[in-house]
A and B are shown apart, each in its own frame.
Chain A
């Protein structure tokens, strides 16, 4: 929206500042108190500076295991969902009429259904499966299936628009020139829809890493990082949890700065070429 008036008024600035205060105050508090040298575990009384909680975090083998599980599941479910979703999107793209409508509704359903209902329903199925197929406990396998399932729609919905934008003639031209369909798909279609695939994969990966609610119901004895954080908040809370938050936040911030710097550089490279 470009109304010509670019300066934000003092009131507007104040308003934005207040919103940012609201958004960042809790995070700042978390970070500050991760250095609090307290014996009573108080979250609001400052009593000296320490790195103790970081050292303890470092030694905590449970957290390391949880991080490992989280990453393993995220990588696997992102890969599976991306490959599976891309292939499905190609099929969906060709569909027409009521078939397409049914498939699109099926794709949209998990996105609008409350997470907790999805989680609970999957738990019922997995428990049933575990009993019938003697799969033992719910665990990595059930989390993986659940994550692939809720990631698939996101992959499909980011690939479909790219397919729509694609130049159909190219694919046909390749086939006319004697290229077998599979190769034509790989050499002609995939490169064109690549941005959509990448976007879908990244979304799947981050959704998987961040998911708590569905994982909570499908996790069995396996702990992922969000599950572990949840159990931490239920116990006698130590500032270790603040330290964990700080580490997470700092890494995010670093990555953010890095990608932005990288982006800026690329832009500069592009600029003279124009």
Chain B
């Protein structure tokens, strides 16, 4: 018996160690070695300090995008969950449809909308309203994140909300809870797992994106992802520094995942395999 599961999962273990663990070890190795001599050094880690603005900006914009997604996505998921079940699938499908289009193309599309001479501004001008400068601001970057990752927030929320039993709500109402109380005491707590997985699914890609900021932020709104790309394949080649930055990013993400996991249902953790 024992030998058999070694036979079936052994190759998988080897594969994952080779292509997940070893590469991570290489990132750590690069982060702590000099780019010329290959000797051990802490210089790369120390140098990350120079880029603290980028970290602050990334986390700030990522958090902002996550909050906006939650604020926009919650009512939407709630509304969908309340619709006649006949139409629910169709609506969910419509929410996801834009996601099947390549995300580079979707982000690119926003450029033509947000530009100073773009469609939104032309429309405003037509109405006699003043033009608004939108493209190449951090606002545009947040908008790009919200646009790209909103479905990741709506879907988990919806799948939790739709499962809430109507009789629970009725029971609460019978016990004299008003609408606000029902929401605060019943619906909201019950949707917590959805909120948490939504937040994770939006925050992680937002913090580490390197395309959205490039396209909508005009290259001046540098984010962590851009920095890593710059060090590996961009304008300032230094894989050692890039590895150090990747390492810090990874640590940041893992800590925030740990925080998120604290909010999850204990039962879920029993399944095993949720990090930490």
Contacts and interface: CB of A to CB of B under 8 A. Distances in A.
CB atoms of A and B under 8 A apart anywhere in the complex? yes
Nearest to B246: A117
Main secondary structure of the interface of A (DSSP, over half): helix
A10 B105 CA distance: 33
A27 B101 contact: yes
B133 interface: no
A29 B205 contact: no
Which of the four size classes fits the interface of chain A? 35 or more
Contact of B242 (A19, A90, A101, A120): A120
Nearest to B84: A6
B249 A90 contact: no
Contacts of A26: 106, 109-110, 112-113, 147
B105 A248 contact: yes
A140 interface: no
A116 B274 CA distance: 21
Given A108-B273, A229-B104, A92 B23 contact: no
A91 B5 contact: yes
Contacts of B188: none
A114 B98 contact: no
Contacts of B229: 116
A256 B19 CA distance: 35
Contacts of A6: 82-84
A181 B7 CA distance: 13
Which of the four size classes fits the interface of chain B? 35 or more
Contact of B118 (A24, A43, A113, A115): A43
Interface in A117-145: 117-118, 120-125, 128, 145
A95 interface: yes
A169 interface: no
B92 interface: no
A5 interface: yes
A250 to B, nearest CB: 11
A120 B79 CA distance: 41
B267 interface: no
Interface in B229-263: 229, 232-233, 239, 242-243, 246, 249-250, 253-254, 257
Contacts of B156: none
A99 to B, nearest CB: 9
B93 interface: yes
Contacts of B205: 114-115
Nearest to A249: B101
Interface stretch (B9-17, B38-46, B49-57): B9-17
A212 B104 contact: yes
Given A100-B272, A113-B250, A121 B26 contact: yes
A43 B103 contact: no
A188 interface: no
B8 A87 contact: yes
Contacts of A122: 19, 23
B273 A104 contact: yes
B225 A116 contact: yes
Contact of A91 (B12, B15, B21, B215): B12
A16 B15 contact: no
Interface string A88-104: 10111011000011011
A229 B105 contact: yes
A226 B5 contact: no
A30 B170 CA distance: 46
A217 interface: yes
B246 A233 contact: no
B66 to A, nearest CB: 15
Contact of A152 (B10, B12, B207): B12
A166 to B, nearest CB: 15
Contact of B101 (A25, A213, A248): A248
Given A8-B82, A44-B118, A101-B272, A125 B110 contact: no
B23 A44 contact: no
A23 B24 contact: no
B220 interface: no
Given A1-B81, A26-B106, A248-B105, A15 B75 contact: yes
Given A2-B166, A43-B112, 14 more contacts: A1-B161, A6-B82, A8-B79, A23-B95, A24-B98, A25-B113, A44-B118, A92-B5, A100-B272, A109-B275, A114-B205, A121-B26, A125-B23, A213-B211
Interface of B: 1, 4-13, 15-17, 19-24, 26-27, 30, 72, 75-76, 79-85, 91, 93-95, 97-98, 100-106, 108-113, 115, 117-119, 122, 147, 150, 161-166, 169-170, 187, 200, 204-205, 207-208, 210-211, 215, 225, 228-229, 232-233, 239, 242-243, 246, 249-250, 253-254, 257, 272-275
Interface of A: 1-6, 8, 12, 15-16, 19-20, 22-27, 29-30, 33, 43-44, 84-85, 87-88, 90-92, 94-95, 100-101, 103-110, 112-118, 120-125, 128, 145-146, 149, 152, 181, 210, 212-213, 216-217, 225-226, 229-230, 233, 237, 241, 244-245, 248-249, 252-253, 256
7 contacts: A12-B82, A25-B113, A94-B4, A106-B13, A125-B26, A212-B104, A229-B105
